[in-house]
Structure 1
Amino acid sequence: MHPNEVPTPTEIEWRPVIVQMREGPVFKVCGPLQAFAILNCQNFVKNGRLQRHAQQCCQLAMERKMSADEARLAFMAATMRQTLKVV
């Protein structure tokens, strides 16, 4: 990729996070695009401030205005109460 090229959101990755929803499947989340989709899915119980913060962080990471690692931490915080396991 050329230094002046803007990467697509699917090219932005982080160290995978494995989440198992309480009443659903196990997901391997490899980047902010996948995390944003999970945070917005209907099965995700809305938890207010943490969820909104994680959504915003994932959006900023996709726009390269925040590091993917920071967005990953926000995603993990938002999913902690939703899941049986976060790895």
Structure 2
Amino acid sequence: MWLAQFDRHPWSRSSQSLGYQPSISFTKHCANYRFTAAGREMAATIAKVPKIAGIFLELETLASEEDMAGALLNCGLCLPNSESHPIS
């Protein structure tokens, strides 16, 4: 597990130099995990956003365009109750 800390200032300066202005700003505290499930390398991020009540799960895996349906199914199998409510 590792905790992510992202310095937004270089990105902020770069995007503002291109003419973009932020419309919202927030802090996100993350704990990242890597594991194998359903034969795929997965990355899970547990995210807490102080301005929003709750904890969020971000689940990722790599897939080709042709394998997208299979990747979504495999990600769904990592979630509770996924047998009755698969990701589609």
The TM-score range, normalised by the shorter chain, is under 0.3
| Greater gyration radius | 2
The structure richer in strand per residue is 2
For normalisation by structure 2, the TM-score amounts to: 0.26
Bigger relative CO (Cα 8 Å, ≥ 6 apart): 1
The structure richer in helix per residue is 1
For normalisation by structure 1, the TM-score amounts to: 0.27
